[in-house]
Structure 1
């Protein structure tokens, strides 16, 4: 039964656009008293190219930024988890049913689909935080990275007994299986999920998706489950978007650091769009003209959804 894959843990004022686009000083302390869902809806952050995204990452991890990759993944993953909790709030605990079995809470089952790169690492971090938030998170991780960072992130998830669907050679995986069985396992997971988080490909992805991710993107297009994509819907061109119209369209998007050019049209259609990654130094924001919004209170993500165009 797939219910064992997800586990059985028991464990505003009207929004208005941000008016201060300088972002050259921290928000005032009074912001900490604002409701968690205060938004900066319609804030016109600048959309950046793939090269700019790479430059920003390099600068953040360079001598001036002084961040490590671990830190950036941790902060990005936390912002993803917070975005999930804002868009798909976890329902209250329910009493046991007549048979003494725990009942599923609203939005409880979150399936995180993680690719082999840094985007997948962000997803592993998000899964850990969501588990701590009380969600029943499950990870589809068919092609794991070999780097030490990713091994530690995976181990952290295993320490929480977080279900992991992965290839047969990985004996520590919760559900090791042969590659030809992965598609069926993924489809079963997808049908049982309340929410899906797309952490497959990031802004450095190029070319058509290959196995084992080709069937994942096809399933995304066919499913009726809500999908939150991270940075850009997997398979889209980071600057040109859904070029041939064959890609899936996410129900919601969380851009990291700054929104990418490829999702500009998506955002301008008024689709749900959040920004995460509250770690860019104020001086960098100003020098690069990113025009990022302020974040409310202690939140690591902010709603920048634009108004839908009039018909």
Structure 2
């Protein structure tokens, strides 16, 4: 259900475990370079001239073998530092051991590669990308295709590195699989989600309580409720401030509605939560002092699983809960939780998610093209199945509902968060018209994704 993602150290261990290593290292390099050449010819069948930019390490060795195999196939393939004028450029400058920012001379070569106007094939990963973290501290190659060996590297899946990789092909070179700390979620994860059985009722199929929907923001709470229902929850209650009740009644048919007054909100919600398998707290709740106070009190008093999203994250302080808790920030919200700049979060997504998980003792789902699910003390799970069209208002509210539904069905918090991100991404990708995708389209597509 989870695909291993390799760090530089884990990849080195896999190579060192190869029989006869290091004497047999040339065998691995021959397979790697040949794979690069074959995948390059397959991807660009009309290309005739190839400029191969090689570094001094094993990555450069892979590139030189690729050039030789291309020549043996009848093409012009030259090792060069000047990538201008070729049909395709092969980037074999840096490998998995690269960290930091390229030095001035190498940076100049990378800039020339990016400016050459030809498609670029990266060997193992684009030069300038940190294989272990996905971080990019200086200039990095913008590849059209990356041919990586044995398994995906973390840096090919986590932003900003993922944005440099283009299409990724994994080439087997004869290494044995190894345990990795980081993983990539696959659609097989949805097999863990319980389906309704013949003996289930609407109450045993998963009950969710959604708390939010202040005036002017009722849509967020409604989308969360519909996300939970479309993710196969059997019963959803939508608790909103009394001033929003009439609007919510007109927007959503299936959820049960509950109005609360701010003065007695906590007691009302705690009573309703006693019958719920999970609570989704925050969509459209507002950021007024009364709302922030309510969030703090509920996190202390609720004894079941809670998803903390949107406005409930605003001003959130560390809390102590024994029950499963999932925080669902985007980069800006996580930056506020850590008191750092949002740009830092975007540049250090794994570190940011891990810091947040440890600080709040909760599972953190950091939204993005590479949604990161991080539990305290565990390795990250990266969910990258969502299309760019998911960058639309309300899609995160739907995701919160899906997480709550999966928690209510009995999944543990990390699994519920990762499975929800997978279902959310598959649902969005299944909508025929990607331009103008609405959050409600994603909710409507969830049953098909789960099937």
TM-score (norm 2): 0.38
Which residue of structure 2 aligns with residue 237 of structure 1? 130
Structure 1: tracts of 5 or more residues without a match: 1-20, 22-43, 90-105, 141-185, 292-304
SS at match of 2:89: strand
Which residue of structure 1 aligns with residue 32 of structure 2? 76
- Tell me if the contact between 2:52 and 2:79 (Cα under 8 Å) persists in the aligned partners: yes
Whether 2:202 is the aligned partner of 1:123: answer no
Deviations 1:187-246 (A, max 9, x none): 4xx221000000010011223323542311111232321111111111111122243474
Q: Which has the higher contact order (CA 8 A, sep 6+)?
A: 1
Deviation at 1:132, TM superposition (A): 1.0
CA distance in 2, matches of 1:221, 1:274: 20
Structure 2: tracts of 5 or more residues without a match: 185-383, 391-451
Question: Structure 1 residues 61, 115: closer, same or farther in 2, change over 3 A?
Answer: farther
CA distance in 1, matches of 2:99, 2:135: 13
Which residue of structure 2 aligns with residue 276 of structure 1? 171
- Tell me if the contact between 2:143 and 2:166 (Cα under 8 Å) persists in the aligned partners: no
Deviation at 1:276, TM superposition (A): 1.4
CA distance in 1, matches of 2:11, 2:170: 14
Aligned positions of 1:9-158 closer than 5 A = 45-62=3-20, 68-89=24-45, 106-140=46-80
Whether 2:364 is the aligned partner of 1:285: answer no
Question: Structure 1 residues 191, 227: closer, same or farther in 2, change over 3 A?
Answer: same
Question: Structure 1 residues 227, 307: closer, same or farther in 2, change over 3 A?
Answer: farther
Whether 2:146 is the aligned partner of 1:253: answer yes
Deviation at 1:288, TM superposition (A): 6.3
- Tell me if the contact between 1:268 and 1:306 (Cα under 8 Å) persists in the aligned partners: no
Deviation at 1:46, TM superposition (A): 1.8
Question: Structure 1 residues 50, 288: closer, same or farther in 2, change over 3 A?
Answer: closer
Question: Structure 1 residues 270, 70: closer, same or farther in 2, change over 3 A?
Answer: closer
SS at match of 1:228: strand
Aligned CA-pair RMSD: 3.1
Question: Structure 1 residues 306, 85: closer, same or farther in 2, change over 3 A?
Answer: farther
CA distance in 1, matches of 2:97, 2:112: 22
Which residue of structure 2 aligns with residue 95 of structure 1? none
* Count of matched residue pairs: 189
- Tell me if the contact between 2:145 and 2:165 (Cα under 8 Å) persists in the aligned partners: no
CA distance in 2, matches of 1:123, 1:238: 18
Which residue of structure 2 aligns with residue 217 of structure 1? 110
CA distance in 2, matches of 1:118, 1:279: 17
* Structure 1 runs (4+) greater than 6 angstroms displaced: 286-291
TM-score (norm 1): 0.54
- Tell me if the contact between 1:49 and 1:238 (Cα under 8 Å) persists in the aligned partners: yes
SS at match of 1:46: strand
CA distance in 2, matches of 1:213, 1:268: 20
- Structure of higher CA gyration radius: 2
Deviation at 1:248, TM superposition (A): 3.2
- Tell me if the contact between 2:100 and 2:137 (Cα under 8 Å) persists in the aligned partners: no
Structure with more helix by fraction: 2
